[in-house]
Structure 1
């Protein structure tokens, strides 16, 4: 059992309970996780039920059998050896370690699934995961290895082995041997018995966690895109008719109506210059329709991921009240795989918008006469020219890696897994896209701030004035030229930290 001497964090999260993407983001820091007495009792009853069925001669996958296509062969007769057998052959992940926040969120999702009382783990396993999450201990988990079917087997096996003091781990952000990290955290190595090992790895918890984290970041990015669009329109002196209520009501898409309402709130008080074209480029004029579609996609993904966070991804499942052990495929992450690929599409199109808005802003033929590249002395200075080059490269990378993972099925595991969803790759891909989009928004924000320095009018809508003032306080004007990589990241951090509620 894992025992923690670290003080618990607050607020307390008692499981089982529906998890949210925001809670998973908070898992990067120590969390005060508690297991309800009812969950502990259900786990114990489920374990007793499974033990009784095995004693009566029942064949139960992974408890009395080999794993995967070797299900037709008997497993180890000693329960502890069977646990070792489940984990040893899965210790073959490759690639860079997953970020600490992703791994900690994964542990929380796995614990939430196990507390629902169908996996027949020992109550000590529940206590151990909760204890680890109260500390700064994080297993080192390589990125490559999961096909998102039969669970995220290889990544979760690495996580479990670290909890046992084997392999590598982090304490805080410092990598070290897992045994040393456990010691730093005041934890004892996890001891497994019975079906513990298989239940810990036989679920799509990494897929669910990564998708939920991507969703949380893209929800912020959606709000940021609305804010930056409004500021761009105000700096240029645009007419806000593109967000008019009757226009968008006639379009008929509720999320476009919502996006329009958000833009109208942000642009409330705007005074158009009267010098802009009758119709703005699509990167302004069509933003309610584009960002409305993004909003629809985020809402759908939120529904699907929410179902996953409330479910049980394991096999087999025990139902003592029905006297039944059900073998099936709840570890098959197809729903979240589709949702994660949808998040990627939404992220890339939002990135397309940001990159085109940046291009509009630096073009003297379309930006209302501001200098090219927003340079105070074009030729002698280059201002955001490099920022646009980097933004173009970032967007190209986003497009290049946007191929859906959820349809890339390849048979594996001796054709036991003859169709697989690759949900893990879809979810991690969406998380990568969210980070890239954040940098594109930071790039656009730096350019908007620079536009104000080189002659763009001061915004007239109060919400836009407030946003520009925040940007000016965070990013100095580019005069003279300087490296802007840190400024882009600082602007992205600022935008992430703004309230998600928009004026209406």
Structure 2
């Protein structure tokens, strides 16, 4: 995922070059035939399809881009902006959209530099693809509007020069092929899904460390118990928790049954694993597909006008991601709450403070975590069923997949910070622990956190520590011996 934010070499295979070339030649042949209408090439756009378009291909390009350059709000994160170009290039490389080889090559060249288009966050309903955000992306590549180079925002024409790129030249078919797809939705959903999958591994590891530091009995991960529940992903999550907890020594002071934020974690995280797995599968289908209209099939002499730009699959997948990620965030916040409570944290002082009253340790950290969870809950309202008719009722039902996907991405970023906060809290709990960690893998994870984060002996700012802990946790789980589907 980090590769998306920096220059990356993307090459077209010989097959892709042949497919794109063949598709373009077919489109040009179709357009030379008198009387055969092709949406967006010979017609107006949207409900204005009943009217003719402009006379020249260059004017038709302006016809589609100019009226769609209306986006508002903050810029999309650079990883989403660059991933959107990558997804668009992949879709066009199938050769079914009629885009020119020079256009697909230009997208690949952009990705090999530090260039990123400025794309406003608001403007897409995700129905005819991501028309407005992709129009802004294309305008950036033409030198219109703004762009980033290596993270620095500047006028797009200046950015192209700094990156060593030339302004993109398009005709009407190229322009429509670039904007008439779900690439922003798919990119945001894909990045959200990858982050959620990694955070689920982090949640499993942190839960095991918590159970180990508390001295909880590992009976809640007993294979027979979890197999009886009937959900395979729950049993698998239990196996991973047991892997982390191998060698743990229960404390005689702990209750027979732990609170649900320990005891029910196989069930909660296992269900999240199932939800995230389905979302990843759905987004993977989008990544392999072609989201455009019309599509051109030379073997059938067919110009197919349809709705492959309708982003409903990723809308559902993104809403489910938001729900799953928020519940995993709820778990992290409750686990922090357990650690600050001397009645439940294994006899440690309140707020994990070395001198309660004189020092306050993670008191502010917990308040921040509560704020994050509240923000996640507020953002969890599904977008995929918020359909509102627009565009002279041409788009009379819409999926709002772009909003769903961007929200899922933002939710995943908040979860990373919650886990960073929990990581700092666990590191402090280990510092105040007289008995020490007993499971070797949990001990190793605490040691990795301790290497970067000092114990809280005297109160200090923890904002940077939280972000550092999130980075440490990401790296620690990336090499572990399992994979999430």
SS in 2 for 1:421: coil
CA apart distance, 1:452: 1.7
CA distance in 2, matches of 1:142, 1:475: 36
Match of 1:341 in 2: 319
Match of 1:39 among 16, 41, 53: 16
Contact 1:121 1:194 in 2 (8 A): no
Q: How many pairs does the alignment contain?
A: 481
Matched, 1:383 2:361: yes
Counterpart-to-counterpart distance in 2, 1:189 and 1:272: 65
Q: Does 1:153 align with 2:136?
A: no
Per the alignment, residue 316 of structure 1 pairs with 294
Residue 495, structure 1, aligned to residue 461, structure 2: no
Q: Report how far residue 132 of structure 1 moved.
A: 0.7
Contact 1:317-1:327 within 8 A present in 2 as well? yes
Residue of structure 1 aligned with 2:117, choices 125, 139, 151: 139
Taking structure 2 as the reference length, what is the TM-score of the superposition?
0.98
Q: Alpha-carbon deviation of 1:457?
A: 2.8
Once the two structures are superposed, residues 146-168 of structure 1 have per-residue CA deviations (whole angstroms, 9 ceiling, x without a partner) of 11110100110011011111111
In the TM superposition, residue 498 of structure 1 has moved relative to its aligned partner by 1.6
**In the alignment, what sits opposite 1:209?**
187
Structure 1: distance between partners of 2:465 and 2:13 = 46
- Distance apart, 1:49 and its partner CA: 1.6
Match among 369, 378, 392 for residue 347 of structure 2: 369
Question: Structure 2 matches for 1:19-38, cutoff 5 A?
Answer: 22=1, 25-38=2-15
**Distance apart, 1:456 and its partner CA:** 5.0
Alignment of 1:211-226 (within 5 A): 211-226=189-204
CA distance in 1, matches of 2:477, 2:431: 25
Stretches of structure 2 that go unaligned for 5 or more consecutive residues are: none
1:458 is displaced (CA, Å) by 1.1
Q: Which residue matches 1:19?
A: none
Maintained 8 Å contact 2:99/2:173: yes
What secondary structure does 1:35 align onto? Answer: coil
The answer for unaligned runs of 5 or more in structure 1 is: 1-21
What is the alpha-carbon distance in structure 2 between the residues aligned to residue 496 and residue 100 of structure 1? 20
Hey, what does 1:106 align to over in structure 2? 84
Deviation at 1:99, TM superposition (A): 1.1
Q: 1:296 aligns with which of 252, 269, 274?
A: 274
Deviations 1:226-247 (A, max 9, x none): 0000000000111001001010
Q: 1:228-275 deviations in whole A, cap 9, x for unaligned?
A: 000000001110010010100111100000000000000001111121
Alpha-carbon offset, residue 48 of structure 1: 2.0
Structure 1 residue 503: Cα displacement: 5.7
Work out whether residues 153 and 203 of structure 1, in 8 Å CA contact, stay in contact via their aligned partners in 2.
yes
Aligned equivalent of 1:169: 147
Distance 2:106 2:41 in 1: 21
Paired residue for 1:328? 306
Q: Which residue is 2:433 aligned to?
A: 455
Report the 3-state secondary structure (helix = DSSP H, G, I; strand = E; otherwise coil) of the residue aligned with 2:248: coil
- Normalised by the size of structure 1, how large is the TM-score? 0.94
**2:10 alignment partner, SS class:** strand
> Post-superposition shift, 1:35?
1.4
Distance in 2 between residues matched to 1:252 and 1:503, nearest whole Å: 24
Task: Give the RMSD, CA atoms, in angstroms.
Answer: 1.1
Between the aligned partners of 1:455 and 1:40, the Cα distance in structure 2 is: 62
Query: Where does residue 52 of structure 1 map in the other structure?
Result: 29
**Secondary structure at the counterpart of residue 264 of structure 1:** helix
- Structure 1 runs (4+) deviating above 4 angstroms are none
Counterpart of 1:441 (choices 413, 419, 426) is 419
